[in-house]
Amino acid sequence: MTNHTPSETRDAYTGVDFNLGFHVRHYGLDLTYRVRPNRLEGTATLHVVAEDDLSAITLDLTGRLSVRRVKASARVARFKHSGHKLRLTFAETVPAGTEFTLEVRYGGNPGPRRTAWGEIGWEELTDGSLVASQPNGAATWFPCDDTPSRKSTYDVRVTADDPYYVVVNGELLGRVARGSATTWHYQAELPVASYLMTVQTGDYQRFELGARTHAWAPPELEAEVRRAFARQEEMLDLFETTFGDYPYKSYGVVITEDELEIPLEAHGLSTFGVNHLDPEWERLLAHEVAHQWFGNSLGLKRWSDIWLNEGFACYCEWLWAEHAHGIPVADSVREHYEGLVKKPQDIVIGDPGPKDMFDDRVYKRGAITLHALRVSLGDDAFFAAVRRYVTAGRHSLVEPADLRAELGDVDAVWDAWLHQPALPECPQ
């Protein structure tokens, strides 16, 4: 079922035209990556179901990658790759309900796409690469339907030069060495939004941090990583107690030897720079763990609702600070409320617009919104409602109405904090 109304043809936040009329249920990616020349060659096999009668479809793929060949079980008459879109025309109309496969061979020198929020997607490091795609950078490394409202399963094989370690979302099924290269095989069996898929290559070593948590990092950073992430398993346990079962089998972190401006979550793992090993960034470790529930398992239907992801992740920073360091959540609320008072009150966080979707006010006011709802309902009712919301939306898509339905009669608080620019009084 489509997640766009008939009048919607373009994502109002990314400005990218939707790929309408079909759903990619599964991606099979077979990639070869030469690290030093930053050369990527790939074959993407898409398992597609037609939701409408289709004479043509589009996919997202940035212009730095060239399409070599396209073939499908529903015969393609012609294809054209331009303007970051791959356009396919079928020889005959594909009836609604038809399942078909589509194979795209492509290659080139991948790199990030330039957006209003900076460069996103595939990025070269000093000695390796990473992928950080929020909100629509997946098209920098494979042809896809790059929208948050579409989730798919993945099977990914990456052949890379030795001695580089390759990290991909999901479970590592195996690796096979041939000559001077190794093929790494990963599988993500649970549905994933395209922007939450990642490939990381580097001089990494994997080591365990807890029963369900592990890290990949340059070997010389192991001691520092173990110190910085020593309580990550405890974070997982805290949020599981608060919100319900952890959504995945395990949680991993990749720590690059490069400095990164911000860490970023992906499906089942997060990426940090070497600069984030400083203890002052502990709150961000909790933030990224929380995203495994809010943003990853509970995916957004549209980017205008991003406060659901970031508000919960920020609130989890404060829950962790209370649990681990005895700082009451109310103190964190007051501190950040005072910060909001000093900033312009010209943003509606329930639909902040593309320019402000990553504004810190969305994050902090989103978190305080949750506290205002908690104060209004009381702890027992609030957390019970959130657990119901998390359970109902597990590995699916959510929107604010889903949370509101579980919370009950919170109209006044909801409207004041989410739909009015003026800052309400600080919840006590």
Sequence ranges of the binding site: 287, 291, 310
Residue tagged active-site, from 123, 233, 282, 288 = 288
What's the maximum distance between 2 C-alpha atoms anywhere in the chain? 66
User: Is 33 annotated in the active site?
Assistant: no
Q: Which residue has the tokens 């009084």?
A: 425
Residues that constitute the known binding site for Zn(2+): 287, 291, 310
Please, are residues 13 and 7 in contact by the beta-carbon 8 Å criterion? no
Which amino acid appears at position 75 of this protein? R
Q: Give the span between the Cα atoms of 242 and 384, in whole angstroms.
A: 9
Q: Give the span between the Cα atoms of 34 and 41, in whole angstroms.
A: 9
Q: Give the span between the Cα atoms of 21 and 3, in whole angstroms.
A: 10
User: Is 154 annotated in the active site?
Assistant: no
Q: If 0-12 CB within 10 Å is exposed, 13-18 middle and 19+ buried, where does residue 200 land?
A: buried
Q: Which residue has the tokens 């005959």?
A: 92
Residue tagged active-site, from 106, 363, 389, 406 = 363
Rounded to whole angstroms, what are the CA distances from 72 to 46, 48, 103, 401? 9, 10, 6, 39
Please, are residues 319 and 370 in contact by the beta-carbon 8 Å criterion? no
Tell me how far the alpha carbon of residue 421 is from its chain's centroid. 27
Instruction: Show the beta-strand stretches assigned E in 9-117.
Output: 22-34, 39-50, 54-60, 65-72, 76-82, 85-94, 99-108, 113-115
* Residue whose C-alpha is closest to residue 356's, from 369, 344, 367, 347: 347
- Catalytic (active-site) positions: 288, 363
